[in-house]
Amino acid sequence: MNLNKKYALFLGCVAPARYPGIEAATREVCKTIGVDLVELEGAGCCPAPGVIKSFDQDTWLAIAARNLALAEKQGADILTICNGCYGSLYDAAHILNGDPERLRAVNKILEEVGMEYGGKTVVRHFAELLFKDITPENVKANTKRSLEDMKVAVHYGCHFLKPSKIKDLDDPERPRILDDLVEATGAVNLNYRDKQMCCGAGGGVRSGNPELATKFTESKLKSMKEAGAQYIIDVCPFCHLQFDRTQKDVKGYDLPVIHLAQLLGLAFGVPANKLGLEIQEVPVKF
Amino acid sequence: MVKEPNPQFAIEVSQTPGGETLSLCFQCGTCTGSCPSGRLTSYRTRKLIRKAQLGLEADVLESPDLWMCTTCYACQERCPRGVEIVDIINVLRNKAVAKGVMSEEHTKVGTYFLQNGATIPLNEKYEAIREQLGLPRRPANVLGDKKALEDFQKILKVTGFDKLLEEKK
Ligand code: SF4
Ligand code: SF4
């Protein structure tokens, strides 16, 4: 399959610096399904929709606009592999692409570094692209190794589907997008209590109030475990980090975290040593 | 900061992008009932919105409650009045930070963001892991591009983000 659109891969902060396996897996999976990736050269932090936007909205918007402008210059849409990056860049594009006055204000700032944003960049999430353009049927068709021996709990996170008023991807209370993609690999997808609940890391809570973040995470780990899950599937490196690192302190769950790109890598037959799953805090044992 | 109710405060919030829907709240409590943070702490979303409506400026901006929200949107999705709760909380947090109310940990994240163009460091351990996985040691973004980082920092100067961190109490 070949999609005729070019995508600039937006790495964000967490994936390249803490879970490079997610980055490597994304590149491998995109190769398999024929998604043409280019580097988003010079990109910076998205910036984080929790911490940085909480500190200063105008800074948040200007830095996001810089990233959007970089992609525009390359004639590419942005592809994110993180809910936080998606949240920030999608929201910023939504504001700027529809509001000439705020676009003008932001361009005044970008002018200082010789840049301009024309209000054209489209921002997409890896999981959304997979669901809409590749489709679960094609995921199934590309699956070389059925993952039927894996019992998984799917975690959507917050900024992928919400706020649904501007994203309109799926029902935010009972979504199917990820469930359908995961089931296409043959994995056994388990339902569990509080499936739509947040991991606890966002909004500056992990950095500012780590005990509270841990309480969120432990509550989710508990219900996943009770449902019989062996693995957590997510689509966000920050949720990923939260679930993986919290299990360093909170013992007894032994639930390795697998990003959708890594899961598809396994299903598509990408060599396991290219997915980085055995070097996480809770490693996947092959 | 003004301790008495300050009606001007609520007006200011409503006039800031993101704060427009503040007055729509009719105190049903659906937000509190949906809030995972409220389930684990004494933070109550409905009360925070009410205090903002009443212009209880110091109470809102100085309370640790303001930083209990993970921006999960559970409340906003369900609010029957279409109150953009997360956006309002963001506006309130911006106001707190502008007045110098910012935790040490958050100041650290902000400083890191300013210095590196990213919120977390890429160190040698992970550079080696990147290499093992067949990736370049440093990616093609600000983490590996000096000119890009300079541009990034210039923007933060123009928006005054650097000053914001300096001026905090
Ligand atoms: S759900 Fe909406 S209307 Fe109800 S109390 Fe919360 S903010 Fe107010
Ligand atoms: S967005 Fe914040 S206030 Fe609303 S439900 Fe989530 S944690 Fe609670």
Spans of all domains in chain B: 7-98, 104-166
| Residues A179, A101 share a domain | no
| Residues A101, A12 share a domain | yes
Which of B37, B97, B122 is nearest residue A55 as measured by Cβ atoms? B97
Shortest Cα distance from A244 to chain B (angstroms)? 16
CATH classification of the domain holding A158:
3.40.50.11810
| Residues A264, A152 share a domain | yes
- pLDDT tens, chain B, 169 aa long: 667 899 999 999 999 999 999 999 999 999 999 999 999 999 999 999 999 999 999 999 999 999 999 999 999 999 999 999 999 999 999 999 999 999 999 999 999 999 999 998 899 999 999 999 999 999 999 988 999 999 999 999 999 999 998 866 4
Q: Is residue A286 part of a domain?
A: no
Tens-place pLDDT, residues A118-173: 999 999 999 999 999 999 999 999 999 999 999 999 999 999 999 999 998 999 99
Q: Is residue A177 part of a domain?
A: yes
Q: What is the pLDDT of residue A50?
A: 87
Q: What is the pLDDT of residue A1?
A: 47
Q: Which of A54, A83, A206 to mutate to test the interface with B (most CBs of B within 10 A)?
A: A54
| Residues A13, A121 share a domain | yes
Asked whether residue A2 carries a pLDDT value surpassing 60, the answer given is: no
Is the pTM higher than 0.80? The answer reads: yes
Name the residue among A147, A234, A154, A156 with its Cα closest to residue A187: A147
**Residue B16: its chain A contacts at CB < 8 A?**
57
Q: Is residue A39 part of a domain?
A: yes
Where among A64, A92, A125 does a domain terminate? A125
Q: What is the pLDDT of residue B168?
A: 63
Q: Which residues line ligand 2 (CB under 6 A)?
A: B 31, 34-37, 45, 69-75, 85-86
Q: Atom 3 of ligand 1 has which residue's CA nearest to it?
A: B25
Q: Which domain holds residue A177?
A: 139-279
Average pLDDT score over chain A: 96
**Residue A95: its chain B contacts at CB < 8 A?**
17
Q: Are B95 and A73 in contact (CB under 8 A)?
A: no
**Residue B108: its chain A contacts at CB < 8 A?**
207
Instruction: Give the H or E element holding residue B96.
Output: helix B85-98
- How crowded is residue A249: how many other Cβ atoms within 10 Å of its Cβ? 10
| Residues A199, A145 share a domain | yes
- Beta-carbon contacts of A50 under 8 Å, excluding residues fewer than 6 positions away, are A84, A202, A203, A204, A205, B70, B71
Q: Is residue A130 part of a domain?
A: no
Where among A125, A155, A175 does a domain terminate? A125
Q: Is residue A134 part of a domain?
A: no
Which of A17, A194, A219 is nearest residue B118 as measured by Cβ atoms? A17
Q: What is the pLDDT of residue A189?
A: 98
| Residues A144, A29 share a domain | no
| Residues A265, A180 share a domain | yes
CATH number attached to the domain at B7-98? 1.10.1060.10
Decide: B83 in ligand 1 pocket, CB within 6 A: yes
| Residues A170, A107 share a domain | no
| Residues A106, A11 share a domain | yes
Q: Is residue A218 part of a domain?
A: yes
CATH classification of the domain holding A17:
1.20.1050.140
Distance of CA A238 to the CA centre of its chain: 8
Tens-place pLDDT, residues A244-277: 999 999 999 999 999 999 999 999 999 988 999 9
| Residues A155, A96 share a domain | no
User: Ligand 1 test: best mutation among B26, B47, B49, B50, most atoms within 8 Å of CB?
Assistant: B49
| Residues A229, A97 share a domain | no
Q: What is the pLDDT of residue B36?
A: 98
- Domains in chain A: how many in total? 2
How big is the CA angle at B84 (ends B78 and B90), to the nearest 5 degrees?
125
User: Ligand 2 test: best mutation among B42, B44, B71, most atoms within 8 Å of CB?
Assistant: B71
Which of B91, B106, B141 is nearest residue A11 as measured by Cβ atoms? B141
What DSSP assignment string belongs to chain A? -----EEEEE--SHHHHH-HHHHHHHHHHHHHHT-EEEE-TT------TTHHHHH-HHHHHHHHHHHHHHHHHHT-EEEES-HHHHHHHHHHHHHHTT-HHHHHHHHHHHHTTT----S---EEEHHHHIIIIIHHHHHHHH-SS--TT-EEEE---STTT-SHHHH-SS-SSS--HHHHHHHTTT-EEE--TTTT---S-TTTHHHH-HHHHHHHHHHHHHHHHHTT-SEEEES-HHHHHHHHHHHHHS-S----EEEHHHHHHHHTT--GGGTTGGGSSSPPP-
Where among A79, A98, A125 does a domain terminate? A125
Q: Is residue A209 part of a domain?
A: yes
| Residues A248, A160 share a domain | yes
